[in-house]
């Protein structure tokens, strides 16, 4: 059921790779609620993914950008304002990648060049997005910028390795840039800490199925799906959340506040 809560709003959605992507579901939801946007992804992902199908469904233009490149980001923001006919009201940063995880490196055997790549792609790119948008004065007052995080920023997970540091940095950037951007332009910056979700990025982590099931049992409401996340992001882009900024918002069915649950007790009772 659509309510038009994003009617008249314009933005950019990063990170839709295929129909499982959180960004993909978000694009569909934002469109349904009346928002208009450009879609973007890294040029290499664009060749592998199906972003053009999504673009058709959302009546959106695709503008390739490697989120680690300030030049690409400058081009993306400038072109988006051109295409959409003015400044923007929302940005979704839905980007994550660790070469160490991809290549199965253990936490005690990190390749540091790759570690820096993880941080650059998954965290620093968020700062670049914010800095480029500020320098171009690309965002309207009360615009909302959201990035996606994971609870491994606060708690240790053996197989999440260097992505844990990337998420901690991402959340820290949301606080620091949120303070600056709020003061200067009334722009809001938040991260949403999402349940484990079956996507390309999620399934790339070894043992994913086990911690997906564990999180499901530890969450009174169960794991939040990608569609649930898309709904939450949509509300965060709307005027109904105007005073929310500099937060890491838990979107996890109650996981982060649970000590143990009945279903886990049942499972572990011998």
Ligand X SMILES: NC(=O)c1ccc[n+]([C@@H]2O[C@H](COP(=O)([O-])OP(=O)(O)OC[C@H]3O[C@@H](n4cnc5c(N)ncnc54)[C@H](O)[C@@H]3O)[C@@H](O)[C@H]2O)c1
Which residues form the interface with ligand X (CB under 6 A)?
14-15, 17, 21-23, 41-42, 45, 66-68, 94-97, 121, 148-150, 194, 196-197, 199-202
Residue 186 CB, shortest distance to ligand X, in Å, is 25
User: What's the rounded Cα separation, in Å, for the pair 130 and 74?
Assistant: 11
Q: Is-contact 90 143, C-beta < 8 A?
A: yes
From residue 135, give the alpha-carbon distance in Å to each of 78, 95, 120, 128, 184: 11, 22, 20, 10, 12
Residue 214 CB, shortest distance to ligand X, in Å, is 13
Residue 213 CB, shortest distance to ligand X, in Å, is 13
Residue 184 CB, shortest distance to ligand X, in Å, is 26
Residue 103 CB, shortest distance to ligand X, in Å, is 15
DSSP string, 7-44: TT-EEEEE---STTSHHHHHHHHHHHTT-EEEEE--HH
Q: Which is nearer to ligand X, 48 or 265 (CB)?
A: 48
Q: Which is nearer to ligand X, 33 or 72 (CB)?
A: 72
User: What's the rounded Cα separation, in Å, for the pair 217 and 251?
Assistant: 15
Residue 41 CB, shortest distance to ligand X, in Å, is 5
Q: Which is nearer to ligand X, 11 or 202 (CB)?
A: 202
User: What's the rounded Cα separation, in Å, for the pair 116 and 141?
Assistant: 33
User: What's the rounded Cα separation, in Å, for the pair 151 and 205?
Assistant: 14
Q: Which is nearer to ligand X, 1 or 196 (CB)?
A: 196
Q: Is-contact 26 57, C-beta < 8 A?
A: no
CA 209 remoteness from chain centre = 21
Q: Which is nearer to ligand X, 35 or 196 (CB)?
A: 196
Q: Which is nearer to ligand X, 183 or 235 (CB)?
A: 235
User: What's the rounded Cα separation, in Å, for the pair 120 and 129?
Assistant: 12
């Amino acid at each position: 059921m659509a309510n038009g809560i994003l009617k008249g709003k314009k933005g950019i959605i990063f990170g839709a790779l295929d129909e499982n992507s959180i960004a993909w579901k978000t694009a569909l939801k934002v469109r349904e609620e009346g928002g208009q946007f450009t879609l973007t992804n890294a040029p290499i992902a664009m060749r592998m993914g199906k972003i053009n199908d999504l673009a058709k469904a959302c009546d959106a233009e695709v503008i390739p950008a490697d989120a680690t490149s300030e030049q690409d980001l400058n081009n993306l923001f400038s072109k988006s304002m051109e295409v959409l006919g003015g400044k923007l009201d929302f940005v979704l940063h839905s980007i994550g990648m660790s070469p160490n995880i991809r290549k199965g490196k253990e936490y005690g055997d990190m390749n540091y060049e790759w570690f820096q790549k993880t941080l650059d792609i998954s965290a620093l790119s968020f700062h670049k997005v914010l800095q480029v948008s500020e320098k171009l004065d690309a965002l309207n007052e009360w615009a909302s910028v959201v990035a996606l995080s994971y609870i491994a920023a606060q708690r240790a997970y053996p197989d999440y390795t260097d992505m844990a540091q990337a998420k901690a940095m991402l959340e820290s950037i949301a606080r620091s840039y949120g303070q600056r951007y709020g003061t200067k332009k009334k722009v809001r910056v938040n991260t949403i800490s999402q349940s484990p979700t079956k996507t390309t990025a999620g399934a790339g982590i070894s043992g994913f199925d086990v911690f997906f099931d564990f999180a499901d049992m530890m969450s009174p409401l169960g794991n939040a799906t990608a569609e649930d996340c898309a709904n939450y992001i949509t509300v965060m882009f709307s005027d109904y959340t105007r005073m929310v900024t500099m937060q890491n918002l838990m979107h996890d069915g109650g996981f982060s506040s649970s000590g143990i649950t009945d279903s886990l007790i049942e499972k572990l009772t011998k």
